[in-house]
Amino acid sequence: MALTSQIGWVDFSSTDRDRVRQVLSQLNEPGTLDELGIGALRDGFADRMFPGFSTIQTRAKYLITVPRMIRDYLLLSSSEQRRTKLDKYLRARENELAKVLTERHGESETGIIGSTKVDSGGVARLPSSVYWGALRIWGLVDTTTSLSQFQREIAAPEPALGSMQQAEADDSDGLRALSRVKLDTFDQKWFEKVLRQ
């Protein structure tokens, strides 16, 4: 015999009935509720037992594409980096990648982050934020900071006052930032190859 759960209530007015219906309708909305507050405990145990893994990480390809995108950004000139900050650069590239992968694989392929939101400006939670913990913990990106802190840390330096050249910057800063992305091999044309395939 299967046990089922039911909920019932006694209402004394239409206001009470409307309040209960409102609460029940909120339970049907997509999203995650942590009413008891045990999500933090679950995450703590998960981080100890499976460091870097998360249930929302569905494809390993982002562990390579996100560091490649960061390295692409770091290879831009200082003036290009000042014009476009890393967060905007990543958003544009990740949305472009989602669009290409969705066009190539269609609806049959699951796990493409942003595939359902490509035409409406992209998703709110990009692969860089979903996989940041893994990238950091596994040393693919050499940092202990959050993604937003990392983006501020590697911002292009402002040109020195009195500089005659707009793009003048200290080369050692760029090399130091570039060395924070750990990839075995790197092809500067990788993104163009993805677009052409």
Q: How far apart are CA 156 and CA 177, in angstroms?
A: 10
Write down the pLDDT at residue 161. 52
Q: How far apart are CA 13 and CA 19, in angstroms?
A: 10
Q: How far apart are CA 88 and CA 156, in angstroms?
A: 14
> Region 117-126: what's the mean pLDDT?
69
Q: How far apart are CA 28 and CA 195, in angstroms?
A: 39
> Region 33-50: what's the mean pLDDT?
76
Side chain identity, residue 64: I
pLDDT at 162 over 70: no
> Region 99-124: what's the mean pLDDT?
69
Would you place residue 89 in the very low, low, confident or very high pLDDT band (cuts 50, 70, 90)?
Answer: very high
Q: How far apart are CA 86 and CA 67, in angstroms?
A: 12
Threshold 0.75, pTM exceeds: no
SS3 87: helix
Write down the pLDDT at residue 118. 63
